[in-house]
Amino acid sequence: MALEVAYSFNSDYADSAKGRTITSTGNSAIVSGGQTGNGLGKTGATMPLLPAAALAALQSDDRTIMLDAKGDLFTWWVRFNDSVFGSGMWGILNLNDGGGMKVQARDNTGSHNLATRPAAASPGAAWHNYCATYVRSTGVITLYKDGASASTASFAAGTQLSTSADSIDLAEWSTTGAAIDNLRLYSHALTAAEVAAVAGTRVAQVEPPWPVPPMAQFGTFR
């Protein structure tokens, strides 16, 4: 259980958690105008890839995706992709059906059954934080927006999510300008309090493995 990758996109694709650098496709770019500093932008639709070591670590029982997003780009933002099945097994996408940003989660059966997608309003012109968590013991998927729970969906308690993805990719669009910033992926499910503490904060140069509570909650030190 850990923070597996953390990308600030301020100057490069380096990972502040465990050194798992993103592979740029040539269609991705670090551009100005991020939520905090620079952000991830695009010049074409081909998606940057997260390294295989991250894929192996992140196909765990419990999972979390957190990112800052901007724009109404109707496609995948983060996708755990199964190229044989031809679909995303886990991730965040924006669907042009009035539902906005949604979590897609499929189980680990051969048919890859899909849970009802929890949804939240699209980010639009302003930056917003989105976080998706899955807790296997309860089967509950939760989508947070700006640190607050927006909606949930459920598999049966104990359902394992798919482990058949063969890549993790992000930003499937060619619209220019910064659209993703401060991307974090965990191999455990953040609690509601942890989501609220981290949402919208800048990825640090060396990211702690767990959300750090504000010092104010411990009172005054003398």
DSSP output for 141-154: EEEEETTEEEEEEE
Establish if 70 belongs to a structural domain.
Answer: yes
Identify the band that residue 112 occupies on the pLDDT scale cut at 50, 70 and 90: very high
The DSSP element (H or E) to which 197 belongs, if any, is helix 192-198
Say if 221 falls within a structural domain: no
The domain tally of the chain equals 1
Which pLDDT score, from 0 to 100, does residue 70 have?
97
Specify burial of residue 130 (Cβ count, 10 A radius: 0-12, 13-18, 19+): buried
- Cα separation, 108 vs 93, in Å, equals 20
On whether residue 97 sits in a domain, the answer given is yes
Q: What is the CATH number of the domain that holds 151?
A: 2.60.120.200
Tell me whether residue 218 is in a domain.
no
Mean pLDDT on 132-139: 98
User: In a 10 Å sphere around its CB, with 0-12 CB exposed, 13-18 middle and 19+ buried, how is residue 188 labelled?
Assistant: buried
Q: 182: buried, middle or exposed (CB in 10 Å: 19+, 13-18, 0-12)?
A: buried
CA 131 to chain centre: 6
Host domain of residue 114: 3-208
Q: Would residue 222 count as lying in a domain?
A: no
pLDDT exceeds cutoff 70 at 52: yes
Say if residue 215's pLDDT is above 60.
no
Q: What is the predicted pLDDT for the residue at 207?
A: 75
pTM, full prediction: 0.92
Q: Which residue is associated with the tokens 């992709």?
A: 81
Residue 158 falls inside a structural domain: yes
Quick check: is 118 in a domain?
yes
Does position 23 have pLDDT exceeding 50, yes or no? yes
> What is the arithmetic mean of pLDDT over 112-137?
96
Is residue 115 in some structural domain?
yes
pLDDT in tens, 61-108: 999 999 999 999 999 999 999 999 999 999 999 987 777 999 999 999
Radius of gyration of the chain (CA): 16
Indicate whether 219 pLDDT > 60.
no
Q: Which helix (H) or strand (E) holds 56?
A: helix 52-58
76: CB partners within 8 A, 6+ apart? 47, 88, 91, 92, 93, 169, 170, 171, 172
SS3 (DSSP) at 26: coil
